[in-house]
Amino acid sequence: MNDRDNLRDCVVLGGGMTGLAAGISSGAPVFEAESSPGGICSSYYVRPNTNQRLKDPPQDGESYRFEIGGGHWIFGGDGIVSRFIRSRVSTKTYKRRSSVFFPDKNLYVPYPLQNHLSYLPERIRINALVEMLTGPKGNSETLSQYLTQNFGETLGDLFFRPFHELYTAGLWASIAPQDSYKSPVNPALAIHGSTATTPSVGYNASFIYPELGLGALAMGMAKECDIHYEKRVVKVDTSAREVVFDDGSTVAYGSLISTLPLNKMLAIAEVTIDQAADPYTSVLVVNLGAIRGQRCPLDHWIYLPKTQAGFHRVGFYDNVDESFLPRPFRGSGDRVSIYVERAYPGGQRPSETEIRAYLDALVHELQAWEFIKQTEVIDPTWIDVAYTWSWPRSIWREEALKRLEEKEIFMVGRYGRWKFQGIAESIRDGLLMGAASRTHREQVKTQLHALAATR
């Protein structure tokens, strides 16, 4: 890196939560592909019986509020990050209400399933406990092996196998185990929960959420940034140290902080890795506003081991907070605001005809369960890189990050570093990366000024 490169600014790519945090702490310009901030965590509004997305809520309050990527609740995070969030928006704290739902039995079992065996028939309960406590343990090479070793064949057949087949779009038998905290293993709680009630456990047993939605947090953070919208990156010239956007404009950089998905960044920067790329799944998120059905649950979200339409999770925005509903219906119990997730193998987007057929099947199934009656809004969004995975013994991620760093491209965030994490952790990582970049640049300036003074 020569003196000319050292004098160039840092640039942040991506105006989601991570990129906004990096922009705030670094002071660097942020370039966002869309016309508003927040990425998959951004909010939008739709009036009943219309299909137009609104960036801002209408004055009369007659609209559903949704999020681009479905319900993203803020869990975990240390005190500093929580204070950062609360200093920008007013938040509420919630205790998780979540279940595994078996539609054919109309049975709800609180999450996590393995800690609430008392809800299941005695034969299943006994077999599951015996297998969990006495089954062979050892190193697991794949997610399917991990689940079988820890939860046994009985719970595997009942829930873990069919759910993960849907959740990973068929990858679960070949990818490495990860995110074990999503399925916590605690034999003592499993034993206790086979005959009694157990406390809520897991990474999201409690969470916070902005009173005016995630969009309010994103907008508040964006106001603290030098952010440029509708700047979709099409190429990063690592030799010329230049970012090229789809509108033909360019920006020079000394270093890049990127929140783009790791696989996309490699392609854009034309960096090749001599390793098979780790896989990912895409998700079609469908937001619905509807008249509430008589059997609509009170859960915040439910996990599903089997559905006719192929979705694996249904979340209920308004069960978290009624502000997701049109103002005239808040407190009435008459409307419901829902998000539904269905996973696909990475990048294999269905056709518009297939999406329409899926939407019909989805609505029909929710109506058959009496979750909803007539729909007022049906709004799908394709999330290309939604969940990231790794092959057993893969070093692709580590090699990719290393190669990019050699070219002064520093990846950060859930997709940039190819690992699952929540909003709070993403904000923290963005703040740390941005602060480190600012410190480094100030040190370089000091060194260059000192060098110039000696010449």
Domain edge (last residue) among 193, 222, 245: 193
Whether residue 136 is found in the same domain as residue 266: no
Whether residue 183 is found in the same domain as residue 118: yes
Whether residue 119 is found in the same domain as residue 181: yes
Whether residue 266 is found in the same domain as residue 395: yes
Per-residue pLDDT band at 229 (split at 50, 70, 90): very high
Q: In this structure, is residue 23 part of a structural domain?
A: yes
CATH number at residue 19: 3.50.50.60
Whether residue 269 is found in the same domain as residue 398: yes
Domain edge (last residue) among 146, 164, 193: 193
Whether residue 445 is found in the same domain as residue 399: yes
Domain span at 154: 113-193
Stretch 108-127: mean pLDDT: 96
Which pLDDT score is estimated for 452? Answer: 67
Q: In this structure, is residue 332 part of a structural domain?
A: no
Of the candidates 86, 317, 327, 298, the one whose C-alpha atom is nearest the C-alpha of residue 208 is: 86
Q: Above 90 in pLDDT, residue 202?
A: no
Whether residue 161 is found in the same domain as residue 32: no
Whether residue 402 is found in the same domain as residue 268: yes
Instruction: Tally the residues of the chain.
Output: 455
Which pLDDT score is estimated for 204? Answer: 85
Which pLDDT score is estimated for 440? Answer: 80
Q: In this structure, is residue 90 part of a structural domain?
A: no
Whether residue 250 is found in the same domain as residue 218: yes
User: How far is the CA of 263 from the CAs of 75, 237, 257, 276, 392, in angstroms?
Assistant: 27, 16, 15, 11, 18
Q: In this structure, is residue 342 part of a structural domain?
A: no
Stretch 371-386: mean pLDDT: 98
Q: Over the Cα atoms of the chain, what is R_g?
A: 23
The rounded mean pLDDT for the chain is: 93
Q: In this structure, is residue 339 part of a structural domain?
A: no
Q: Above 80 in pLDDT, residue 39?
A: yes
Whether residue 120 is found in the same domain as residue 189: yes
Please count the structural domains in the chain: 2
Stretch 235-241: mean pLDDT: 97
Report the alpha-carbon distance of residue 52 to residue 49 in Å, rounded.
Answer: 10
Which pLDDT score is estimated for 131? Answer: 95
Q: Above 90 in pLDDT, residue 185?
A: no
Which pLDDT score is estimated for 9? Answer: 86
Do residues 337 and 273 lie in contact, with contact meaning Cβ atoms separated by under 8 Å?
no
Q: In this structure, is residue 368 part of a structural domain?
A: no
Do residues 296 and 317 lie in contact, with contact meaning Cβ atoms separated by under 8 Å?
no
Q: In this structure, is residue 18 part of a structural domain?
A: yes
Q: Which residues pair with 30 in a beta bridge?
A: 12, 227
In sign, the C-alpha dihedral spanning 322, 325, 330, 333 is: negative
The verdict on pTM exceeding 0.85 is yes
Which pLDDT score is estimated for 453? Answer: 72
Domain edge (last residue) among 193, 218, 248: 193
Q: In this structure, is residue 100 part of a structural domain?
A: no
Whether residue 399 is found in the same domain as residue 272: yes
Stretch 368-394: mean pLDDT: 97
